[in-house]
């Protein structure tokens, strides 16, 4: 029996989009332009993280059903194929349409590629649900006494001799942790002296016995982050990514995407924020100094995006990025912070006094300003990134301690 005509047409179109990014861009742009619920999406604002994630999960399910966010992801992960270029175009077109990126994409862009590379069977099992917004994960790397020094982690996993591991320890600053379905946990399996050579990575279900998740209230009042406690949590061996004591390789692969793809997507969001700010400044007036800052910021974001595009192309070609991604992280974090500082300065009276403002919109903009205070700290501080650039790219003399 021959396949239904619709299936043949859809399969042909999918192949066309995979091989021709320009066609994918053009038709995705048309889809967003004609979307009858685009205004609802565009104007959605929330005064808490839980409602925002729930709404964005609905957005993802709709976009997934239409197929648009499946390009750039392999078939085993629920995608249609293609490369990181497709995902970059996806973020570009959302920005051009002034549509907010669903929050789940931020963690997916960081964690998804590592699971695909080091545990394809887990990717096949769980990533399709991630793409459709049915679940999302938290990245359990940082610890209270380690900061950016992942080689100094103390959380441990011990082989239980029965085909699994027992995890103990504490993680902190886990993004989307309060509502995450699973955690990608980096823990020590070697001796304390083994540093980065004795780490392993596990995918752990958030509802496993022995896990306690405590939301962390930010300065904005939102519960975006969490601390996660592991108390004799048993994890099956098949939840290990890569090899035992091979977690550092997983981290290095992941970091390319955290600073590369994540950074590129953040810069497209920055352009959306600048477009919104330009309209606000035109409507409510602005000083010449603020207009000058706006122009300088716009150029800085475009320059950073051009730099990050080099990283995206390298990832799409399967080339390792290495320490070059630290440049992307620095430029992206600075742009994110500077834009929100300008929003605060240009619309200070409105943001502080809130006269005549929609409550949820105002709360969301204030929350974003508070969140960007950590932009040059989270994911590796600016000082750490400068050290990597100095040591590995510029070959400068080692810092005296």
Neighbour tally for 309: CB within 10 Å:
17
Contact criterion met (CB below 8 Å) for 114 and 120: no
Is there a contact between 129 and 160 (Cβ–Cβ < 8 Å)? Answer: no
Q: Collapse the DSSP code of 363 into the 3-class scheme (helix H, G, I; strand E, B; otherwise coil) and give the result.
A: helix
**Considering only CA atoms, which of 381, 333, 372 is closest in space to residue 149?**
381
3-state class (DSSP) for residue 312: helix
Q: Using alpha carbons, list the distances in angstroms from residue 247 to 111, 202, 240, 379.
A: 13, 9, 9, 17
Give CA separation, 340 vs 33, 58, 128, 155, in Å: 27, 27, 34, 35
Interatomic CA distance for residues 257 and 328, integer angstroms? 10
Q: Residue 255: name the closest of 187, 325, 317, 171 by CA.
A: 325
Contact between residue 113 and residue 135 where contact means Cβ atoms under 8 Å apart? no
As annotated, the active-site residues are 258
């Amino acid at each position: 029996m021959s396949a239904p005509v619709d299936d043949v047409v859809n399969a042909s179109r999918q192949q066309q989009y995979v091989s021709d990014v320009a066609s994918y861009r053009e038709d995705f742009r048309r889809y967003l332009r004609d979307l009858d619920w685009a205004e609802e999406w565009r104007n959605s604002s929330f005064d808490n993280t839980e409602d925002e994630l729930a709404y964005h999960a609905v957005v993802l399910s709709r976009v997934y059903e239409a197929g648009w966010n499946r390009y750039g992801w392999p078939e085993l992960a629920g995608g249609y194929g293609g490369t990181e270029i497709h995902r970059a175009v996806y973020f570009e077109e959302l920005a051009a349409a002034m549509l907010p990126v669903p929050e789940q994409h931020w963690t997916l862009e960081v964690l998804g590629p590592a699971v695909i590379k080091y545990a394809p069977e887990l990717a096949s099992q769980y990533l399709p649900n991630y793409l459709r917004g049915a679940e999302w994960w938290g990245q359990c790397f940082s610890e209270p006494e380690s900061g950016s020094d992942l080689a100094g982690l103390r959380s441990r996993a011990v082989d239980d001799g029965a085909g699994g591991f027992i995890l103990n320890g504490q993680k902190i600053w886990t993004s989307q942790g309060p509502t995450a379905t699973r955690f990608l946990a980096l823990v020590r399996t070697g001796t304390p002296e083994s540093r980065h050579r004795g780490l392993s990575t596990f995918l752990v279900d958030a509802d496993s016995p022995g896990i306690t998740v405590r939301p962390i209230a930010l300065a904005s009042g939102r519960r975006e982050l969490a601390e996660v406690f592991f108390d004799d949590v048993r994890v099956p061996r098949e939840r290990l990514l890569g090899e035992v004591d091979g977690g550092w390789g997983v981290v290095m692969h992941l970091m390319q995407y955290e600073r590369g793809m994540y950074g590129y997507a953040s810069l497209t969001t920055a352009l959306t924020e600048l477009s919104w700010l330009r309209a606000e400044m035109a409507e409510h007036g602005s000083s010449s100094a603020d207009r000058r800052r706006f122009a300088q910021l716009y150029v800085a974001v475009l320059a950073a995006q051009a730099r990050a595009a080099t990283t995206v192309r390298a990832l799409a070609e399967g080339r390792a990025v290495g320490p070059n991604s630290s440049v992307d992280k620095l430029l992206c974090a600075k742009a994110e912070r500077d834009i929100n500082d300008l929003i605060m300065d240009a619309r200070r009276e409105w943001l502080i006094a809130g006269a005549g403002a929609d409550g949820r919109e105002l709360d969301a903009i204030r929350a974003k300003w508070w969140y960007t205070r950590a932009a040059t700290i989270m994911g590796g501080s600016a000082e750490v990134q400068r050290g990597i650039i100095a040591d590995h790219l510029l070959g400068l003399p080692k810092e005296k301690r």
